Structure 1
Amino acid sequence: MKNLVVALVFCFAFSCQNSAQVTNPKQQAVIDAEPIEIPLENGKAKAYFASGCFWCVEAIYESVKGVNEVISGYSGGFTKNPTYELSNTGRTGHAEAVEVIYDPNVVSFTTLVDVYFASQNPTQVNGQGPDRGSQYRSIIFFQNAEQKEIILKKKAALAKKLNATIAAEVYPFQKFWIGEDYHQNYERLHPNQGYIRNVSIPRLRRFQAKMPEVLKSSH
């Protein structure tokens, strides 16, 4: 009985914490804000996604044709200058996210959204795989009405196909905070690290098997 009470208290506390994440007025202001559109730079566009550990997501998008660079960082929250340590508390509002720098003449935003859904468990709430918490939640960021429409249509179609609720939140893009240097290119630089071997690389391989047509020739 004692264990049951402890378990119920833990669940209640966990639920309250996540409920607070959603209803926090500062967080709601982020969700309700007008999107900020990033202009092309040297013919390259930028897109932003959160889907669990950014080590995994960075490697997935870097394997896609037309993607020039992927940067790991934080987005979706209300706290300025978030750090890895602060983000991991779940109290900054941010999720681990990536900035995808791509050539829109080679790969479209629509395809990047397809990559997003194909590279995760789309029904897992507040996490991916073993990574749990609001800092690992799934978010797709839109910069204009066209992108928002693409995301919502893809999300609705996937929900119908799976007959399930899709966990990804849809946010107007506000700001991307670049992560610490040691997080960049983490999977490529640390292929033998335990998490990379057991979680990140298998996730990358599953995605590559689903969408081989979008991969760079070196993958």
Structure 2
Amino acid sequence: MKRSNCLVYSINLCIAALMALSISCAQTHSGTASGDTTSRTASSGTDTATFAAGCFWCVEEQFKQLEGVDTVISGYTGGHVANPTYSQVITGKTGHAEACRIVYDPAHISYDELLEAFFVAHDPTQLNRQGADIGTQYRSAIFYHNAHQKERAAYYIKRLNEEGAYDRKIVTEVNPYTVFYRAEDYHQNYYSNNAEEPYCQLVIKPKLDKFKKVFNEKLKRN
């Protein structure tokens, strides 16, 4: 079986790992941001992927587990307001989505494998929401950095829709990467720093546990 077909098959098998969680991420967030514009920081030998898949606390912690992923930064992208704060983004009026910029080593993990993780990490059929988190800031989106990433994203969305991997059509946006604003410091490594908080225990941990079971063979071994 070709690699692309294997990934589609793997994603289909992983759909059962998706779960709907009712606690709102927005109800838990608070604070003020200091907008920091960063376009790309991948060093020699690494590449960058940028995904939006609901609350970035969840997405960040999931992708941090994968072997080959060097850095995951939570932030805002896809909107029209420069240097947005979190309080602005959650209004849904900035056009920005909560997103994660992922710096990875292609020698250890491919962009296709990151796409596989993306489609398992959230429900890409929910329009402008993830569970109880509602608004365009929680939309599902892939922000491609080059033509190859654009092609692969479109390919998997088409294949998954054709194969009926989900009960509904995928609504994930595929847009060009423009500029990424780093979120406030308290958003970075949120789960690691606040693991005992209710949102982390009731929402992030169950999603993380399922994600780790699905990608057991691709996790970092500390």
Q: Is this a same-fold pair by TM over 0.5?
A: yes
Partner amino acid, structure 1, of 2:152? I
4+ runs deviating over 4 angstroms: 37-40
Q: Deviations over 1:139-184 (max 9, x none)?
A: 1011121111100111111112325310211110001100000100
Q: Which residue of 1 aligns with 2:208?
A: 204
Q: Which has the higher helix share?
A: 1
Gaps of 5+ in 2: 1-38
Q: Which residue of 1 aligns with 2:175?
A: 171
Alignment of 1:88-167 (within 5 A): 88-161=90-163, 162=165, 164-167=168-171
- Could you say which structure has the larger radius of gyration? 1
Partner amino acid, structure 1, of 2:212? Q
Label 1:67 to 1:140 Cα distance change in 2 as closer, same or farther (>3 A). same
The secondary structure found in structure 2 opposite 1:216 is coil
2:194 maps to 1:190: yes
Q: Which segment drifts farther, 161-170 or 92-101?
A: 161-170
Rounded to whole Å, the distance in 2 between the matches of 1:103 and 1:63 is 14
Structure 2 length-normalised TM: 0.78
Number of residue pairs the alignment of both structures matches: 182
The secondary structure found in structure 2 opposite 1:201 is helix
Kindly indicate whether structure 1 or structure 2 has the higher relative contact order, using CA contacts under 8 Å at least 6 residues apart.
2
Q: Percent identity?
A: 43
Structure 1 length-normalised TM: 0.79
Rounded to whole Å, the distance in 1 between the matches of 2:44 and 2:191 is 27
Q: Which residue of 1 aligns with 2:50?
A: 48
Q: Give the aligned CA root-mean-square deviation in angstroms.
A: 1.5
Partner amino acid, structure 1, of 2:218? V
Contact 2:48 2:145 in 1 (8 A): no
Rounded to whole Å, the distance in 2 between the matches of 1:45 and 1:146 is 12
Q: CA deviation at 1:59?
A: 0.2
